[in-house]
Amino acid sequence: MSNRSLGAMGNVVDVDVVIGGGGVAGAVTAIALQQLGYETLVVEPGLNDDRRLAGELLHPPGVAGLAELGVLDSLMRQPAVTVKGFCVVDADDPEQIRLPYDAVRAHRAPGLSLEHGLIRQRLMQAAKEQPLVKVVENARVTNVDQSKASHVTVQVAGPETATQYRCQFLVAADGASSAIRRFAGIGANNRRIATIFGYRFPATTLPERDYGFVFIGSRTPILIYPINESEARIMFDIPYDAHRKPTPKDCLNLAASLPPDLRREVEWVIASQPQVSAVIHEVAAQQLTNGRVVLVGDAAVTCHPLTATGMTLCITDALLLRDAIADRRHDVRQALELHRRRRRWRQVTRLSLAETLRDVFCGCDPNLQIVRRGVLHYWRSSNGPTASLALLSTADGRPHSLIRQFVMVLTHSFIVEVGRWKSAHTRQNSSLGESLYGLASLLTHQLRQILGKCRLVS
């Protein structure tokens, strides 16, 4: 049970901070906090990366964050590759839309991509090399006691022994299904939304090997991005259906919308490789902190990976937590509350943006198809890529920026729809009015959605 008194199990070991979870979020948080002089213990349960599909792309803010932490060089070694941005390809229009990272002034470096298992291994090794970081492997946090106001006591159990650690605060970095979140008495809203299938794909087949690609025009978008000099990852999004289990045949059906040469290569890959997969949930913790427990990374918020923001936000979380502790070092509870306030709007924007883009690119609703045309028209304009990419990369996490971008998209949707109506051979007076009414309804829906995400992310 959460927050109960832990039974006597030998001496209690004192440490400044315990971090439960040794993935990307746990490793970078340990590195960040030890920069403040905190003795940090990372509890690493051990994961099998061979069959897991997880984040492999870092947007420029994430790369800059690793540089600030002094560990970028450890990740940049081969087979890591730089990514210059994304190209969007619509099945109905052969002209691709380029969204280059360097269009955004805040981006001081290109993106970075590498197989997830190598990212995790390299960052954990970098954490182990820090003088104030200790890693306990093959162990888990099994209970949390916050009955004393001055500290939190954490029980850590391995295969044969259990140890109690008394610390100033506990960081939950143990993923979307976080046990620590439950021990701390923090609830979460959890909604299953999709299954993602992933395959290795020859990078030589891509039109531009240093860009990621989003192909739209099928039931759901298809994402391809490089993971080394010769290989890319292709990801298929299968929406959740309670009445059937997704299969590789669903991937083949989605691949039918790809350009012919690419489609043939993809069909061969699907037929010849075992896929890796991930069940995708939208998870939003009802609190980011409780007492002396703070959530970071997917333990706090996770969403659809279309925007590929997961790992970048893990690094941002670590930096925000470090800076909040530095600003309120005299009072841990005040520091965690400051971290919560600084972090909240980024998460609201991330959740809203991921859900909105997926709705627009997956929806069969006629109004959503109008918005999709507006998005593509906006991204072809001179200012569209810069402002949109700043949001997509997390360089800009302000909700009013998200709302402004949505208004701009609706404006372009209106322009496109009026043009289509004027060029139609037969004009139906009601059709344009219905379309405009639908756009106004979508704006109202979007504002309500953002308010809903505000309630989800406290």
pLDDT tens across the length of the chain (458 residues): 334 334 444 579 999 999 999 999 999 999 999 999 999 999 999 865 555 688 999 999 999 999 999 999 999 999 999 999 999 999 888 789 999 999 999 998 999 999 999 999 999 999 999 999 999 999 999 999 999 999 999 999 988 889 999 999 999 999 999 999 999 999 999 999 999 999 998 998 888 889 999 999 888 999 999 999 999 999 999 999 999 999 999 999 999 999 898 999 999 999 999 889 999 998 989 999 999 999 999 999 998 888 889 999 999 999 999 999 999 999 999 999 999 999 888 877 887 888 888 888 886 777 778 888 888 999 999 888 898 899 889 999 887 888 888 888 888 888 888 887 777 644 454 465 555 555 566 566 656 665 565 555 55
pLDDT for the residue 288: 92
* Per-residue pLDDT, 9: 45
Look at residue 439 in the predicted model and tell me its pLDDT: 58
As a CATH number, domain 12-80+111-188+285-343 is 3.50.50.60
Report the alpha-carbon distance of residue 175 to residue 169 in Å, rounded. 18
pLDDT of residue 273: 92
Distance of CA 345 to the CA centre of its chain: 15
| pTM of the predicted protein model | 0.90
Please give the pLDDT value at position 2: 38
Q: What is the pLDDT of residue 339?
A: 95
Indicate the domain borders of the chain.
12-80+111-188+285-343, 190-281, 351-456
Q: Which pLDDT value is given to residue 128?
A: 96
What are the structure tokens assigned to 387, written together? 């402002």
User: Is there a contact between 297 and 313 (Cβ–Cβ < 8 Å)?
Assistant: yes
Residue 431's pLDDT is 60
Q: Which of 410, 389, 285 is nearest to 343 (CA)?
A: 285
The pLDDT value given to residue 373 = 86
For β-strands 57-58 and 85-90, DSSP reports them as: unpaired
- What is the CATH code for 190-281? 3.30.9.30
Which single residue is written with the structure tokens 């600030």?
68
What is the structure's pLDDT at 380?
A: 92
User: Quick check: 306 and 241 in contact, CB under 8 A?
Assistant: no
Nearest to 305 by CA among 351, 345, 346: 351
Owner of token pair 């924007």: 349
